[in-house]
């Protein structure tokens, strides 16, 4: 099986507590909602304690053009992406030695919070010594499902090229899409949830001699499943306007998860000869506290199965596609040979990405 060998994070420097962001939202939205204090309860009900951002709070207090926000996205993405790659390939937690960039055969770059052509990995390749023949696969528009989808596509690449070493680089700067003049409830809820972050994972094919692997057991990928729900385009995503990207975020997401996810997961697991009771690790993208609760209710998992996802949400907020890699890193530290894991993330479409993991 293609296997995940190393995962690393790159965390933006600006830290804001949830109370600081809530006070900012109160000042901005109080004129638009008579029941603002009731709505602001979402900031604490979500159980997020702090988040990291590419810019400090003062930056968000003045209007920014789409051009200014996107230029900041490119600049910050190059810096964070470069740092995430270096930490992934020079990681003494997961690797016995540093891996040179020119051994990497392909880079899957995942993002949905800004636009860049040439894409971000092309710009990073001018800063790090990758081979000029490294394949570039930028993937845009998958939102919160993007990190899991990137792992799935890297798995398929390694099946086709079993001697390959592949990076999945996820960079999301959700805060830079913030629209001061959007006084919708979707924007208010998005302000309570979303954050910035980057992460990078190393996946290798079966024929790679993993003499650099440090952990005694790492998660192999046994299979994946992508599912898109018909007629659900309005559940989440972006609405593109002159000023930039406006968040689309339906209040029905938790109820959709409860009714739709379990049949999807059951079909996937049974196709692999696995029952739900055999799952040791639930590597779930924490879209929000209500999403985690919906996972538990739909899949009938014990709350302990989502503790790591909730911890990541509490410490970092929802970093869109990058978040599941933060969760995965923590599971890699505790996984043991023979453990079975289910990785899942949901995104625009409305879509689901599932991966079956087995520690080998």
* Residue labelled with tokens 């954050």: 195
> What is the pLDDT, as a whole number, of residue 32?
75
Annotated active-site residue in 88, 144, 174, 200? 144
- Regarding pTM above 0.85, the answer is yes
Largest CA distance in the chain: 63
Q: Which residue has the higher pLDDT, 130 or 256?
A: 130
Q: Tell me how crowded residue 5 is: count the other CB atoms within 10 A of its CB.
A: 24
- Spatial distance between the Cα atoms of 302 and 286, rounded to a whole number of angstroms: 16
In the residue annotation, 144 being an active-site residue is answered as yes
- What is d(CA 123, CA 106) in angstroms, rounded to the nearest whole number? 15
Per-residue confidence (pLDDT) for residue 259, from 0 to 100? 79
Q: pLDDT class for 256, splitting at 50, 70, 90? A: confident
Any residues with CB less than 8 A from the CB of 336 and at least 6 apart, and which? Answer: 217, 359
**Token duo for residue 74:** 């490119």
- Yes or no: say if 164 and 106 are a contact pair by the CB < 8 Å rule: yes
Q: What residue ranges in the chain does DSSP mark as E strands?
A: 3-10, 14-17, 50-53, 106-111, 135-140, 165-173, 196-204, 219-228, 236-241, 244-249, 281-284, 340-347, 351-359
358: confidence class by pLDDT, cuts 50, 70, 90 = very high
d(Cα 292, Cα 234) in Å, to the nearest integer? 21
- pLDDT tens-digit readout, 187-229: 888 888 899 999 999 999 999 999 999 999 999 999 999 999 8
- Say if residue 350 is preceded by a cis peptide, omega within 30 of 0: yes
9-68 pLDDT, tens digit each: 999 999 999 999 989 888 878 777 777 888 888 888 888 999 999 999 999 888 899 999
Q: What is the pLDDT of residue 24?
A: 87
The predicted structure's pLDDT at residue 67: 94
Integer angstrom CA distances of residue 66 from 53, 55, 61, 120, 246: 18, 16, 15, 18, 11
* Residue 182 structure tokens: 């959007």
| CA 268, chain centre distance (Å) | 21
Contact 283, 341 (CB under 8 A): yes
- Name residue 355's beta-bridge partners: 224, 343
177/196 Cα distance (integer angstroms): 11
Report the candidate in 109, 129, 348 with the shortest Cα–Cα distance to residue 240: 348
For 319-352, how does the pLDDT look when each residue is reduced to its tens digit (9 = 90+)? 999 999 999 999 999 999 999 999 999 988 889 9
Rounded to a whole number of angstroms, the distance between the first and last alpha carbons of the chain is 9
| pLDDT at res. 285 | 95
- Taking only the tens place, the pLDDT of each residue in 257-283 is 877 888 899 999 999 999 999 999 999
The SS3 assignment for 54 reads coil
């Amino acid at each position: 099986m293609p296997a995940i060998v190393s995962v690393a994070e790159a965390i933006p420097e600006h830290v804001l507590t949830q109370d600081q962001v809530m006070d900012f939202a109160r000042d901005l939205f109080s004129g638009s909602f008579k029941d603002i204090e009731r709505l602001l309860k979402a900031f604490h009900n979500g159980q997020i304690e702090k988040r990291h951002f590419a810019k400090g709070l003062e930056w968000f207090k003045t209007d920014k053009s789409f051009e200014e926000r996107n230029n900041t996205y490119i600049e910050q993405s190059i810096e964070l992406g470069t740092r995430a790659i270096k930490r992934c390939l020079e990681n003494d937690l997961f690797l016995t030695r540093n891996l040179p960039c020119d051994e990497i055969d392909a880079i899957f770059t995942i993002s949905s919070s800004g636009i860049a052509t040439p894409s971000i990995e092309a710009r990073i390749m001018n800063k790090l010594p990758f081979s000029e023949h490294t394949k570039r696969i930028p993937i845009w528009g998958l939102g919160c499902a993007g990190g899991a989808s990137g792992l799935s596509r890297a798995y398929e690449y390694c099946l086709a090229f079993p001697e390959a070493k592949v990076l999945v680089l996820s960079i999301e700067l959700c805060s830079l899409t913030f629209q001061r003049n959007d006084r919708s409830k979707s924007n208010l809820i998005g302000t309570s949830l979303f954050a910035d972050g980057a992460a990078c994972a190393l996946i290798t094919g079966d024929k790679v001699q993993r003499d650099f692997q440090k952990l005694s057991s790492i998660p192999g990928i046994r299979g994946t499943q992508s599912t898109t729900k018909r007629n659900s385009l309005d559940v989440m995503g972006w609405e593109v306007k002159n000023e930039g990207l406006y968040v689309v975020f339906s209040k029905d997401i938790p109820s959709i998860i409860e009714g739709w996810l379990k049949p999807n997961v059951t079909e996937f697991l049974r196709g692999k000869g696995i029952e739900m009771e055999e799952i040791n690790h639930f590597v779930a993208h924490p879209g929000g506290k209500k999403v985690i609760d919906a996972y538990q209710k739909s899949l009938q998992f014990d709350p302990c199965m989502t503790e790591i996802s909730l911890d990541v949400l509490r410490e970092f907020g929802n970093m869109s596609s990058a978040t599941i890699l933060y969760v995965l890193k923590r599971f890699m530290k505790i996984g043991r040979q023979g453990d079975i894991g289910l990785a899942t993330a949901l995104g625009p479409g409305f879509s689901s990405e599932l991966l079956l993991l087995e520690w080998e």
